[in-house]
Amino acid sequence: MAAMKRLFGRPEALRDVPTHYCPGCPHGIVHRLIAEVIDELEIREKTIGIAPVGCAVLAYNYFNCDMQEAAHGRASAVATGIKRALPDSIVFSYQGDGDLASIGTAEIVHAAARGENITVIFINNAIYGMTGGQMAPTTLVGQRTTTCPDGRDPRLAGFPIRISEMLATLDGAVYIARASVHNISHLLKAKRCIKTAFQVQLNGEGFAMVEVLCACPTNWGLSAPEAMKWVEKNMIPYYPLWEIKPLLKEGVVRD
């Protein structure tokens, strides 16, 4: 009898441990997509991931590769240090919106401007998850959080930041995409974006980032299915999907 072909299983780049994430939280989904990409590109043994403060701070327990935990907002600086020290390694950071779009804006802007050859996965869930649901720089106008209990008022708190569009203006940023994982078809496309962002690094092309729109059912006060719908209905119109800055030529260093 022919050996059975394995069609689905845990990626090697993901450890066989339960995560601490809330029910319906997409952090686990995005971890898996990254792990699958790492496996497919066969780079696990030279990958170093960076998990800064945020709900995913414990990602170092979940990814089965070398990991560094970083201070809140500093992941892209830490990634810069690692990649410059070990140019042959593959370095990715996994940052929340509070981390990347608020306290770490200087770090991300300059990493992109320098064209650091790193891959950034940016989780935009429009809220501060770990600290219990405060307003994020990406919180939508009118969205309620514990620090804008009546909904975000732009006269007081300004407008949500579209970081991907901002970074796309920088010459050092080679590939910037925005994806969503609220349903299967989007999830599969999100994985393709993540894979491209790693390939850009493998090709030595420069800075690549994928923003992933994610639900936060717990802090949004919604059920998981409701939260997924909320992403589609409210976030995607404000944060348009897919290639914000496409590769000029697939897999080729720009001249």
Partner 1 sequence: MEERLLMKGNEALAEAAIRAGCRCFFGYPITPQNEIPEYMAKRMPQVGGVFLQAESEVSAINMVYGAAGAGVRAMTSSSSPGISLKQEGISYMAGAELPCVVVNVMRAGPGLGGIQAAQGDYFQATKGGGHGDYYTLVLAPGSVQEMMDLTFDAFDLADKYRNPVLILCDAILGQMMEPVELKDEFITQLQPKPWATVGAKGREPNVINSFYVSAEEQEEHNIKLFTKYQRMRNEEVRVETWRMEDAEIALVAYGTVSRIAKAAVELMRQEGIKAGLIRPITLFPFPEKTIHDLAFNVKAFSVIEMSMGQLVEDVRLAVKGVAPVKFYGTTGGRLPTPESIFQKAYELMNELTRGENGCYEKIIR
Ligand X SMILES: Cc1ncc(C[n+]2csc(CCOP(=O)(O)OP(=O)(O)O)c2C)c(N)n1
98 in contact with ligand X (CB under 6 A): yes
Burial class (CB in 10 A: 0-12, 13-18, 19+), 200: buried
Could you give the CA distance from residue 192 to residue 208 in angstroms, rounded to a whole number? Answer: 13
Residues 188-247 that bind ligand X (CB under 6 A): none
Binding-site partner at residue 212 among ligand X, partner 1, none, CB < 5 to 8 Å by type: none
**Helical H runs in 55-140?**
75-85, 97-98, 105-113
Question: Which one of partner 1, ligand X, none is in contact with 32 (Cβ closer than 5 to 8 A by kind)?
Answer: none
Name which of partner 1, ligand X, none residue 47 binds, using a CB cut-off of 5 to 8 Å depending on partner kind.
partner 1
Per-residue b or e along 222-235, where b marks 16 or more CB atoms closer than 10 Å to that residue's CB: beeeebbebbeeeb
Instruction: Examine residue 107 and tell whether it contacts ligand X (CB under 6 A).
Output: no
Residue 53 CB, nearest approach to ligand X (Å): 4
The single residue among 44, 72, 152, 195 that binds ligand X, judged by CB under 6 A, is 72
Inter-residue contact 68 to 96 (CB < 8 Å):
no
Question: Using CB under 6 A, which of the segments 12-20, 61-69, 90-98, 165-173 binds ligand X?
Answer: 90-98
Q: Between residues 91 and 127, which has the closer beta carbon with respect to ligand X?
A: 127
Residue 174 interacts, among partner 1, ligand X, none and using kind-specific CB cut-offs from 5 to 8 Å, with: none
- Give the separation between CA 70 and CA 90, rounded to whole angstroms: 17
Nearest approach, Cβ of 102 to ligand X (angstroms)? 8
- Asked whether the beta carbons of 139 and 126 are under 8 A apart, the reply is yes
Degrees (nearest 5) of the Cα angle 131, 244, 42? 75
Tokens of 7: 């069609």
CA 38 – CA 25 distance, rounded (Å): 22
Q: How many residues does the chain have?
A: 255
SS3 213: strand
Selection from 241, 100, 143, 141 nearest residue 183 by Cα: 241
Q: Which does 106 bind (CB under 5 to 8 A by kind): ligand X, partner 1, none?
A: partner 1
Please report how close the Cβ of residue 61 comes to partner 1 at its closest, in angstroms.
8
Window 115-154: contact mask with ligand X (x via CB under 6 A) = --------x-x-xxxxx----x------------------
Considering only residues 77, 126, 168, 227, which one is a binding residue for partner 1 as defined by CB under 8 A? 77
The footprint of partner 1 on residues 100-129 (CB under 8 A) is 106-107, 109-110
Chain residues that interact with partner 1, rule: CB under 8 A: 44-48, 50, 57-58, 60-61, 63-71, 74, 77-86, 89, 106-107, 109-110
Chain residues that interact with ligand X, rule: CB under 6 A: 53-56, 72, 96-99, 123, 125, 127-131, 136
